[in-house]
Each structure stands twice: as structure tokens, then as C-alpha cells.
Chains A and B, each alone.
Chain A
């Protein structure tokens, strides 16, 4: 018997943080412009000390103002999607649940485009419009998961294949709505939005939105983490969890709202990047087991690591051009999904 202790939890997270740090440094170094490790270290320390103005070198500019924000965006988006995936898997008791597969990301896309259209029509101040998009995306995500949940529920139970089918239907329905909405946009806007929809980290959102994203992640992921021990019991079924002392409805509402917010925030800045929420929680479960007290932070860090790697590949593999990061994750994630599906059907 070796129950999880706080010490072991922190040690494992520490290892993952170290890996994330190494990956971030490598990602900073890679790109069209060559950067020496020494220069990189010097500039990073200057940034940390708040002396960004002291960086004079050209590549310092590239690293600090272009690559670093993009990598930090990948960290937060990857962590959000992965935690949302792990949460949906526990909430729906389905190992194949993922924001992208279930159509939640499409719901968030519709929500954020509607928010964008409203903001354009009513010409709000830029700061307010900035908040409106992630808000609309979160609401869209919440509505999509609610619809999929009720469509996938038969005789009070969530049936795995019905749930996935509902997700696919919701996804294609919502994509059609996205198509209609896009037709109302003008040329310049259209290209940006189309690119964003396929999942890309290449357009950096304004700094205020980045802060909101980071803050939103900490609050929503923190809220989910308070229910980590309850989620372990919820995996055995709602009735059983109740008899073991879990306030099932409270846990479900907290996780449902928080996971929708995480998906909404991620989609509003990066579009629908698929399979991170499916692949990473599974990999972490293989390594660390299915205890959510360990799984959730591991999924957050693992998701961050994975998306930084995927995005670095996206911008370097076909340099000087680049592919969408959503394409990279789908190329790796879709075969993995099929593998899980076949294994589950055996």
C-alpha cells in the first residue's frame, strides 16, 4: 500500500516542470533566426529581472517579443485543453472524451465568432471586445457539452458510442453554423478567422487577453482540482460515489462549468486544436496512474509540454512557411484515437 503523499506529488510535478523548462528553452532556440544558448540565457535573465530594455541584439527582440509570448500561449492553451479533456473523461465516464472529439471546441468556435460579430456590430471598446470573445467561447463550449450530454444519455446512462456519435453530429452541425457565420465576414477578416479555426498559435492575442487567459486557467483548473478526490470516486458511477460520501451534483456542476471555461479560453485564442485533451491525459494515466490528484497537474504540465513541442514543429518543419499546430496534433492524435476506440471495442 503506497498512498499518494504531498511530497511525492510535488516531486513528480517538479520533474515535469523541469522537462517543460527544457522544452521551452529548446523551442526558444529553434526557428528561422539562429540564437546561441548563451545569448538566450542572458536575455531570459534580463527579462526576469525586468530589464527588457537592456536587450539590444536583434535576435533578442525575436526571442523575447515573438517566440516567448507564442510559447507561453502554447503552455497555457496546452494545459487548458489537457485538463479539460481529463475532466470531461471523468465527468462523462468515457475515456474517449475530448473537447475536440465531443464538439465542445466547435461550440466554442461558434460562440467566439458570434461574440466577434456582436463586438464588430456594436463597436465596443477594444478592451471589452477582448473579453467578449473568450466569454462567448466559454458559453458556446458549455452549451455544446450540455447538448452532447443530453443527446448521449439513454435511459439515465451515458452510452459510450451514443455519446461519441452525438459529439460528431454536434461537431458537424456547429461547423456548418461556423460556415454560415463566416460568409458574413469580409475578405481580410475571413482569412484570419479561417486560419484560426483550424487551430493555430501564430496570431498573438493582445497582452491583456493573455493575462486573462492565464488567470482564467488558474481559477478554472484550481476549481477542478478541489474536486480531484471526488472525481476518483465518480469514475465508479454516480450512485456509488454518492454512497461513498461525494456530493455528486456539486462536483458535476463545478467540473462542468470550469472545463467549459478552460475550453472556451483555449479556443478563443487558438481555435480548435484537437486531440491534446485526449492524448495527454491517457499518456499521464499510463505513467502516473488514474488518481486525479496526480493526474490533473500532470495533465496540465504534460499538455503544456506537448503543445510547445507541436507548435515548435509547426513553425519549423516547413520553414520558412508554417503549418497549423492543429494539423500537427491531428496527424498524431487521430490514429491514437482510433487505436483507443478499437481497444475499447474488443
Chain B
């Protein structure tokens, strides 16, 4: 790894536990239309940690602060108080290049100005690992093809990005993130435009990838059942407050979820020890 931009943090940091990769420590944020006014939205200080190979789900209804939390983790926003550490370094203080080598973000699909091929798109993930005019090396080609293979999209390699389906596109965007060879993989509502089969496929491959490549995966979602089935930890947010952090089985309590999601529901444990949520139609 390259040298840190800022002096690594001292003894009061998560360095003490080498197992921890991502550590959010009392991080908070507030949006205001101008600094003199009261903030329009506040994300109250919250803390949690994640290890390599773990999938962490950030769960909550709309406007609960999920995306803000993801921006704090990705380093795009600087916390108002507290810190977010990746391997002991504050994510916000990393240079764009170093940050892109360590953190990959999968966002809802981006609009392309000029059409490009799938392989060209995946190759963008190699940008932060190259220099000068960024001519792609044989190694870059190998890494990009592996990334496409890992998401089962090898057959799309030479297709145009604007000529593939939503589910295929989501896989290609994931492949680009894998080509970054990150430590931390962040996904913002990755299942939003996918049908149920594609959603399960995507999360299955995420689970496999997290285990194989030892990524720490953070998924923002409001899909209760997908998070319950696939996450190792759930961070439950409501209106900018962190209500619970823990394994799904302990976070998924009927009263709590009903209150957060404003809907009558039931929670049962499946044979695998995973919670399953059933929503009832409003009476």
C-alpha cells in the first residue's frame, strides 16, 4: 500500500484491533441551506465496525440518512464530528486516487454522454491504479476480465453499455467496482431497478465475493428481507438516528420494525436462523 497522506492516527484508534477494517466512530453530519440557519437534516453521531469478509446493511425508510451515512463512509463528505476509519486512516483525508484504490462505490446507474463498450466501462475501474496516459497493461486486461467473470458477465464484454438490460448493467457496474480491487465495497440501493430473481442473484454473488476476496461490503437498502437474509450486521436508521446495530436476528424485532417502517408486519426466524419479515396490507 502507498504511504498515507496524513500521519496515521494515534493509540486511541482502532489500530488496537487488527480484525477491524471499517470503523465509524461517533460520526455525525448535518445539512443546512446556509451555515447561519438550523440544519435541515441531521445525522446523529453513530458508531459501528466491520471486519473483512463481512456484509453490513444500512437499513431504513426514505429520508432516514442512509445515503448520507454512505457518503461519510466513502469519504465524499467530512463528518461534522467523529471520524470514519478504513484500516486506521480517515477516509475523508485520502486523496481521490488512493481513496479509489481502497473504496469502490456502486451507485444507481450513471448517464453516459457518449456510448462505450462494456469492457471500456469496466476498465475505468483500473484508472486509479495507473499512471500518466493510463494505457492499460496486460494485467489490467486480466483483472477486468476476472471482474466480469466474477459477476457472470463475460458474455457482455463487447456489448455497448446502452444496449444491455438494467440487471446486466448493474452487474457491469459491480464488475467495474471489483476491478478497482478495493478493500471496501459500497453499494447504494443496488437492487432498486432489478426484478426479484436478479436481486437474489446479485446478493448471492456479493456474499460469495465478500467471502472469497475478503471485501468489507456495505449495502444501503430498504429491502428488509434481502438485508435479513444476506447481511452479517444491520445498521437500522430512522430520521437521522441510529436505532440499532447488530446481527439481523437481534435487530429485527416486530415492534421496532413496525414503528420504523410504519407498517404492520410479522417477523419469524427461518431454519437457518435468519429473520423473515411479512408485511400485511393496511386494514
Contacts and interface: CB of A to CB of B under 8 A. Distances in A.
A112 B158 CA distance: 49
Given A229-B127, A229-B133, A235-B113, A243 B74 contact: yes
A285 to B, nearest CB: 6
A1 B135 contact: no
Interface in A229-253: 229-230, 232-233, 235-237, 239-240, 242-248
Nearest to A90: B113
Interface stretch (B19-27, B93-101, B216-224, B233-241): B93-101
Given A233-B127, A245-B99, A5 B110 contact: no
A335 interface: no
B120 interface: yes
Instruction: Bin the interface of chain B by size.
Output: 35 or more
B116 interface: yes
Nearest to A6: B135
B113 A93 contact: yes
A1 B113 contact: no
B128 A245 contact: yes
Interface string A240-284: 101111111000000000000000000000000000000000000
Nearest to B120: A291
A6 to B, nearest CB: 6
B134 A293 contact: yes
Given A1-B119, A229-B134, A291-B120, A245 B114 contact: no
At the interface, is chain A mostly helix, strand, loop or mixed?
loop
Contacts of B116: 289-290
B140 A240 contact: no
A244 B100 contact: yes
B267 interface: no
B140 A3 contact: yes
Contacts of B105: 243
A228 B157 CA distance: 23
B113 A95 contact: yes
Interface in B117-160: 119-120, 123-125, 127-128, 130, 133-136, 140-141, 144-145, 157-158
14 contacts: A1-B145, A3-B140, A93-B113, A229-B127, A232-B124, A236-B124, A240-B107, A243-B100, A244-B100, A244-B127, A245-B99, A246-B127, A248-B96, A293-B133
